[in-house]
Structure 1
């Protein structure tokens, strides 16, 4: 069954008013999108900021009468903004009925990182069976290899000697970094995330790669034991990385390696300063507008 989509572009102060109008007109779901390529990378805790031009989209079942629905929306708009002579225009579109999950699956292809490592969707065959192949189904968790920060981390891991290392994957998401570490020679991984769904996805992907169950343990942040790892990777955001600097530093042994990502170039100095007391930090490496930072524990 096709769907009817109605969009309106407005400022953030009025976005929720238009959301209410669309819901009152009978739409199934409302979404907010950036109308001018103005990303919000790291909002303040407890806030949900919108963009200066926010596209508010309502999705309606196809049986809705388009003329009647638009008439209701225009009436609601006139009541809400009686003195506004430049009201935004409602735009309509018919959406083809698709299996969106299958559409995404068909467009997710194997990818190479560094010299040895490939990340392959679990529903496709590995293109190079002799390579180090990580079979992945991210489920509801972040981490497929398509984002530049994940790519930066995977390329660094591929370049490192990891044989017999204990690795901490802090903010594990789908488990992609921890499982890559195991496939590249690490002895054991401790995967940490605030989201229980991420821990489930990590465990599922471990078994999907036919790795021994006891080679990876999962933890919520408050549960991780006091250990010193050979390598710690954290692909999260700048704010948490600053706040967690004492905790993460304490989890790396002297001479151990640190990898931080999920960062923008202007954040490099702040993060470097947060870890400089415990680590000899290397210059940032940039890819597609994102950076990674690495260091050696003093």
Structure 2
């Protein structure tokens, strides 16, 4: 399978946010290199480069729109022009061996693991979500996904209905069902995300209890006991009324996908009716809260 390698030169303060963003935008692998070409593979959220100048390298499918990626990079970093960069078209070389070894099972919650398909689960009796790095956001590697999974693992899900709004890979809906939810609904605006969610659900033995649909097809009166939305802050604000309406009275809401410093603006769109609590990890934020129950 052909691949495309995008190399971007940035200072150390911008390297980690850019690496995180490339994962969101479809990179199936991201590495960081200093000027001496010593790599740091981004497989854990607590790693940060120590070099003053960093090459952030993303591995993408060959048909990715590089102009779109570079435009997003400019906007994300607040630059007038894209940083110095290099694009390499890679042949039919098997790149799997160059990055698969750097992805490992992740313990993301109480007795909850995300395990690449080529790895042996470290805790066989735990709940193991089999998920490979791919084209849809959400593999457990990113702090926002990890925080959502950890939050879900702490919730009393038995008998509950969960809505995964902006499902990406479907990992949150799948995890909710594996953790005991009675049913889950995974919605997204991206048709590719819905296909990936179906494939991941089948891989994890989810054959009932999960509905997967385009967000526009969600029934007007549908509400869930728990709603999780792990999407960008701008989209969270734009869809605040829609997402709020999907939480039944007394239900729980979890919002992520926003960076530290963005939580105030997002919180203002949801409170009232939600008094939201912020949880931060590696400069990313999760907001959680309960919708007030109907009076009487």
Q: Could you state the TM-score of these two structures normalised by the residue count of structure 1?
A: 0.71
State the alpha-carbon separation in 2 of the partners of residues 275 and 263 from structure 1.
14
Aligned counterpart, 1:59: 88
Q: Is the 8 A contact 2:267 2:276 kept in 1?
A: yes
Q: Is the 8 A contact 2:5 2:90 kept in 1?
A: no
Q: Is the 8 A contact 2:5 2:88 kept in 1?
A: yes
Q: Is the 8 A contact 2:7 2:87 kept in 1?
A: no
State the alpha-carbon separation in 2 of the partners of residues 231 and 194 from structure 1.
20
Please show how residues 7-156 of structure 1 align to structure 2 within 5 Å: 31=6, 33-37=8-12, 38=14, 39=17, 48=72, 50=74, 51=79, 54-59=83-88, 99-156=94-151
Q: Which runs of 5+ in 2 are unaligned?
A: 25-70
The CA deviation string for residues 47-88 of structure 1, in whole angstroms up to 9 with x for no partner, is 6452467122143789xxxxxxxxxxxxxxxxxxxxxxxxxx
Q: Is the 8 A contact 2:149 2:172 kept in 1?
A: yes
Q: CA 1:276/1:122 → structure 2, altered by over 3 Å: closer, same or farther?
A: same
Describe the SS at the equivalent of 1:266: coil
Q: CA 1:128/1:54 → structure 2, altered by over 3 Å: closer, same or farther?
A: same
Q: Is the 8 A contact 1:233 1:260 kept in 2?
A: yes
Q: Is the 8 A contact 1:30 1:56 kept in 2?
A: no
State the alpha-carbon separation in 1 of the partners of residues 233 and 8 from structure 2.
23
Structure index of larger Rg:
1
1:175 pairs with 170, 178, 184, which one? 170
Q: CA 1:122/1:30 → structure 2, altered by over 3 Å: closer, same or farther?
A: closer
Q: CA 1:288/1:29 → structure 2, altered by over 3 Å: closer, same or farther?
A: closer
Please show how residues 248-267 of structure 1 align to structure 2 within 5 Å: 248-267=243-262
Q: CA 1:104/1:230 → structure 2, altered by over 3 Å: closer, same or farther?
A: same
Q: Which runs of 5+ in 1 are unaligned?
A: 1-27, 63-96
Q: CA 1:120/1:61 → structure 2, altered by over 3 Å: closer, same or farther?
A: closer
Q: CA 1:29/1:158 → structure 2, altered by over 3 Å: closer, same or farther?
A: closer
Q: CA 1:202/1:240 → structure 2, altered by over 3 Å: closer, same or farther?
A: same
**Aligned-pair CA distance for 1:31:** 4.0
Please show how residues 158-173 of structure 1 align to structure 2 within 5 Å: 158-173=153-168
Q: CA 1:30/1:175 → structure 2, altered by over 3 Å: closer, same or farther?
A: closer
1:206 pairs with 201, 206, 212, which one? 201
| Residue 278, structure 1, aligned to residue 273, structure 2 | yes
State the alpha-carbon separation in 2 of the partners of residues 139 and 270 from structure 1.
31
Q: Could you state the TM-score of these two structures normalised by the residue count of structure 2?
A: 0.72
State the alpha-carbon separation in 1 of the partners of residues 89 and 205 from structure 2.
44
Q: CA 1:61/1:33 → structure 2, altered by over 3 Å: closer, same or farther?
A: closer
State the alpha-carbon separation in 2 of the partners of residues 32 and 137 from structure 1.
23
Q: CA RMSD in A?
A: 2.4
Describe the SS at the equivalent of 1:219: strand
| Residue 233, structure 1, aligned to residue 236, structure 2 | no
Describe the SS at the equivalent of 2:264: helix
Number of residue pairs aligned between Structure 1 and Structure 2: 231
